[in-house]
Amino acid sequence: MDWGLFTIQMLNGVQLGVLLFLLAAGLTLVFGIMDFVNLAHGSLYMMGAYFCATLVQLTDSFVLGVILALPLTALLGWIVELIVVRALYTHDHLDHVLATFGMILCFDTAVDFIWGPTGMAIPLPEVLDSHIDLFGGHTFPVFRILIISTGLAVAGFLYVMVSHTRIGMLIRAGASNRTMVMALGVDIGKLFALVFAVGAALAGLAGMLIAPITEASIGMGNEIIIVAFVVIIIGGIGSIKGAFVAAMLVGLIDTMGRSFLDQLLKVFMSSESAETSAPALSAMAIYILMAMVLAFRPQGLFPPKVR
């Protein structure tokens, strides 16, 4: 076994996990606190990427682009909450799903209209566009290391915020007991808008971080949002900690499965059948994980205490 390659794939897995966490954190909070299902969360991820791409073009600086695009995505989230989402809190989940599905159509078309059907690349500054040496003659892109460290920093920041500040206390309380928060006399509308905007910014950040690798494109959020759902189901809806653990699990299992499952299967079966079944099996891996977790814990790994 090539341990250099193994390490690289581990890092790639962590990187995917970190991105998933950024997406899942907002999703799980919005659901945990507002009881709102937001399919269009992936659209905010996409909008973040496009905002960033445009701003990088204008400013010629990736860092500046990200710094400017973040508040912009948060603002977009805030507007969306104000105009559409707020009207839906009193509706049932089916309505949430349908309306946010409509929002996806609108966002995808708007992007097509504004930026055109082809994707937008985000050029990186030279420092970020380089590689560092790993053992065994392998190299790893600096930018991916940046993604990982940004994601971990955000996770740490969220953790401190949720567990040690007043807002965090409200958020935790909101995830487990909504009426209590309202009884505390908190302006629940403001809290919702804030959480939604922060969730949007986090999703946007994920989009900005991935776009230099894949480029910003229409519908880029529609696939990864499902994986983010898998993450929050495994982690337990409403739990930041669960989202983090599950994101890492899913990121690693998916990446490692795609790279090494065929080799693993060759231990048990002929190399030909291993090579044909490995792709399908690794595509299913995270869903099988989800099914297994649910079989034992229908509420996910870290369900918020009381609903």
Contact residues for other proteins (CB under 8 A)? 31, 37, 39, 84, 87-88, 91, 93-95, 97-99, 101-106, 108-110, 112-113, 222-223, 226, 229-230, 232-233, 237, 276, 279-280, 282-284, 287, 290-291, 294-295, 298-299
Minimum separation from the CB atom of position 126 to other proteins (A): 35
Residue with structure tokens 């890092």?
A: 11
**Cβ closest to other proteins, residue 74 vs residue 103:** 103
Q: What angle do CA 195, 197, 202 make, to 5 degrees?
A: 95
Q: Around Cβ 119, how many Cβ atoms within 10 Å?
A: 18
Query: Within 116-239, where are the H helices?
Result: 142-164, 166-176, 178-183, 188-214, 220-235
Residue pair 31/93 in contact by the 8 Å Cβ criterion: no
Pick between residue 93 and residue 131 the one whose CB is nearest to other proteins.
93
CB 91, min distance to other proteins, A = 7
Considering beta carbons, is residue 84 or 142 the nearer one to other proteins? 84
User: Which lies closer to other proteins via its Cβ, residue 1 or residue 306?
Assistant: 306
Take residue 62 and report the two structure tokens written for it. Answer: 């990736």
Nearer Cβ to other proteins, position 23 or 122? Answer: 23
CA angle 301, 8, 220 (to 5 degrees): 65
For the bound state, the minimum distance from the C-beta of residue 145 to other proteins, rounded and expressed in Å, comes to 28
Give the Cα separation of 52 and 70 in Å (integer): 8
Question: C-beta of 233: minimal distance to other proteins in Å?
Answer: 5
Nearest-approach distance from CB 267 to other proteins, in angstroms: 21
- What span, in angstroms and rounded, lies between the C-alpha atoms of 257 and 300? 22
Can you name the residues that pair with 141 across neighbouring β-strands?
131
Smallest distance, Å, CB 175 to other proteins?
Answer: 14
> Which of 182/291 has CB closer to other proteins?
291
d(CA 166, CA 191): 12
Query: Considering beta carbons, is residue 138 or 178 the nearer one to other proteins?
Result: 178
* 186 C-beta neighbours (distance < 10 Å), count: 16
> Do the beta carbons of residue 200 and residue 80 sit within 8 Å?
yes
- Give whichever of 161 and 226 is closer to other proteins, judged by the CB atom: 226
For the record, the structure tokens of 270 come out as: 């002929």
- Which neighbouring-strand residues pair with 131? 141
- Rounded to whole angstroms, how far apart are CA atoms 269 and 280? 15
- Provide the CB-side half-sphere exposure for 136 (13 A, CA): 10
CB 33 within 8 A of CB 171: yes
Least separation in angstroms between residue 159's CB and other proteins is 24
Give least dist CB 15 to other proteins, A.
Answer: 20
What is the smallest separation between the CB atom of 144 and other proteins, expressed in angstroms?
23
Of the pair 13, 303, the CB lying nearest other proteins is at: 303
